[in-house]
A and B are shown apart, each in its own frame.
Chain A
């Protein structure tokens, strides 16, 4: 470094698009970069106020500015000067103070709040209203579309669907059970359709438009037909209250919002998550209680012992723990013990009960997927 040796570079004043050829010197004595434009007064940029324009593609060059005049630029091409200047101007890489940090935090909170408000308040409220006025044919179409999605989502093969079980004797037994449980005066605008899917999961759920779906695992796990009838009655209770329609509309609204947040990247995962949510549908406590009450009333009308509902929950909980399939579905509600007790109490009041299916029919139902 030879004190203040002069060199030349292009200078831009940030006011006009003129490229001025200026003389500059790195003056170690005064701690400044002096810039002398032709026919104008010299400028002295203090080393500690120099800032470089970062991420330059051209190596060994330096585009430098000063905090006092942030629009000005000096484009130094001489490699020796650049390597001389770098150690002197210590804050060359210092970033400008961050502006508007609190505004970013405000909008971040706003974005989180908006998504929560939409997914957990606005969409559910609107879904409840819309589910009430959706015409029955629309509900049925919604249910069929959803069943198809569930069948393909649960399939292990790349392109397949989880098959539905359709052994004729089994279907007859299922149909008889449905007639017994559903009774005459269901007041539903569409027939209840019961489907069994050939899948190990121990679960049953209702879909919009009168669809009740059992997994084979559920039938395998039940000890007697009354338990299956009890679950069927419970799910028909959800159908009558249009609970699944609400959930399906809700997920349609939430899906778009979550897709927006996570992008296509994780979009597939979000779809799976929501289908899972539909299967494990967590209805409100009131909705569960109403479905239980509905089920007990129906079972009683059909001379089936309502205690079967409680017995089945108990068996499943003992056998499979609190986490899997139907156990999770039902045990997610803290009042499970009360519900078992209520079902048993309703059973105890009844005099004559008879099994919903005879032994032959029950065997046929258990073989529905064979």
Chain B
């Protein structure tokens, strides 16, 4: 059909790797300040790689607004976390004679802010996203999202994951129903029941685990328990990935933007394969790089201390001097930089490519009627998510 739009993906490994390495190194050298610039430029790259109907998406966020948002979040969160931690510590030691209650309470205390931050970060990113020159937008409703998410998570945990599909659906519906493209509001149709089938493999594995826990005495069958765990945990991850991809397909098929529809042919085996191969490649290459630089560092250590290279003298060797300590520190961060750059190349980009290329936009006749929306200032950007370390991914 002429009115259907496929999606072209034009990202390439080489340029992305060079960008991620160079900017990762700059982030380390600037004590993390450059990461706001890095994130901006990487998003521009990823966004422009996705081209529905051949027209690139555009990310127009600014690094400085992210920095500003981070500062605002630090001011607010410093008060909250500093004072709340202190008071919780006090209460925990006066009432419970231990600090575990405080750790638990301070963890629970951050959860609503975490969901709040997630919603606001999404709102910021979409407000800075354009396609065909038209802005996306999200309605401000972060606290409503936070308490719903808390409630649905509590329900899911209390029901031993039985309500997981309900949680997936309701939260997605809450987000999508408040999302706009220009003056066109998106909507999420369908219901939670369509996602239930996808959870069945997860539930089977969990049930098997529960029965092992109940019927096998760990004192006697410890080898069996360990063997079961080694087998079951990767299977659980795979089953959950299958649920996620299947849910993505179904939720996409029930999304509407007026009369515009979507269809995704994302494949769970492909996604699982990308994760497995991607993490293997990332781990192996990072390991090789880390071993190489560490070996070089050790040689430098022995050279500066005037000893021959031998492991017998390892204990006798003098502590490294200050320059060598600094070099060691730089190597430590270099390994992190190379790890995250390789992850972009082997995991993030292949995943984006797969999800983009398998997505299609249907019945786009009414697309030309969509008009521009006003700019959403959103002053503190994604500062809360950044300060709470949620923004590690793109």
Q: Give Cα A112 to B13, complex, Å.
A: 39
Q: Give chain A interface residues in 104-159, CB to chain B under 8 Å.
A: 104, 107-108, 110-111, 114-115, 118-119, 122-123, 126-127, 130, 133-135, 137-142, 145
Q: Which chain A residues border B134 with CB–CB below 8 Å?
A: 12, 14, 16-17
Contacts of B78 in A (CB 8 A): 111, 114-115, 118, 257, 260-261
Cβ–Cβ contact A57 & B10, under 8 A: yes
A19-B132, A58-B48, A101-B64 as given contacts; A253 in contact with B86, CB under 8 Å: yes
B294 CB within 8 Å of chain A: no
Instruction: Say yes or no: B44 contacts A115, CB within 8 Å.
Output: no
B64 and A104 form a contact (CB under 8 A)? yes
- Report A-chain residues with C-beta under 8 Å of the C-beta of B85: 252-253, 255-257
For A70, give the chain B residue with the smallest CB separation.
Answer: B60
Contact A256 B93 (CB under 8 A): no
Query: Could you tell me which residues of chain B, from 47 to 86, have a CB within 8 Å of some CB in chain A?
Result: 48-49, 51, 53-56, 58, 64-65, 67-68, 71-72, 74-75, 77-79, 81-86
Contact B86 A123 (CB under 8 A): yes
The answer on a CB contact under 8 Å between B94 and A256 is no
Residues in B with CB closer than 8 Å to A110 are: 71, 75
Q: Knowing A18-B368, A260-B81 are in contact, say whether A142-B93 is a contact too (CB < 8 A).
A: yes
How near does chain A come to B149, taking the closest CB pair, in angstroms?
22
Query: Is residue B141 within 8 Å, beta carbon to beta carbon, of the partner chain?
Result: no
A 34-75 binary contact with B (CB < 8 Å = 1; else 0): 000000000000000000011111110001000000011101
Q: Please measure, in the bound complex, the distance between the C-alpha atom of A11 and the C-alpha atom of B283, giving whole angstroms.
A: 44
Contact of B98 (CB < 8 Å), options: A99, A114, A141, A250: A141
| Chain B: CB-nearest residue to A107 | B71
Q: Is B244 an interface residue (CB 8 A)?
A: no
A87 interface residue (CB < 8 Å to B): no
- Chain A residues with Cβ below 8 Å from B182 are 16-17
Chain B residues near A118 (CB-CB < 8 A): 78-79, 82-83
Interface residues of B in 7-47 (CB under 8 A from A): 10-12, 15, 19, 32, 41, 44-46
Question: Do A63 and B56 form a contact, CB below 8 Å, given A15-B371, A253-B86?
Answer: yes
Is B82 a contact of A257 with CB atoms below 8 Å? yes
Contact A249 B89 (CB under 8 A): yes
- Are A73 and B133 neighbours in the complex by a CB distance under 8 Å? yes
Q: Does A10 contact B (CB under 8 A)?
A: yes
- Determine if B68 and A100 form an interchain contact, defined as CB atoms under 8 angstroms apart: yes
Please name 13 further chain A to chain B contacts, defined as beta carbons within 8 Å, in addition to the given A104-B71, A256-B82, sorted by A numbering.
Answer: A12-B134, A15-B372, A54-B44, A57-B45, A104-B67, A107-B72, A111-B78, A130-B87, A142-B93, A145-B99, A249-B90, A260-B77, A261-B74
A residues sitting closer than 8 Å to B (CB atoms) are: 10, 12-19, 53-59, 63, 71-73, 75, 98-101, 103-104, 107-108, 110-111, 114-115, 118-119, 122-123, 126-127, 130, 133-135, 137-142, 145, 249-250, 252-257, 259-261, 263-264
- Which 6 interchain pairs have the tightest Cβ spacing? A12-B133, A253-B86, A57-B49, A138-B93, A55-B44, A256-B85
A-B contact pairs, 25 of them (CB 8 A): A14-B133, A14-B134, A17-B132, A17-B134, A18-B368, A53-B58, A55-B41, A57-B15, A57-B45, A58-B10, A59-B12, A59-B15, A63-B56, A100-B65, A108-B67, A118-B79, A119-B82, A139-B93, A141-B93, A252-B102, A257-B85, A260-B74, A260-B77, A261-B78, A264-B389
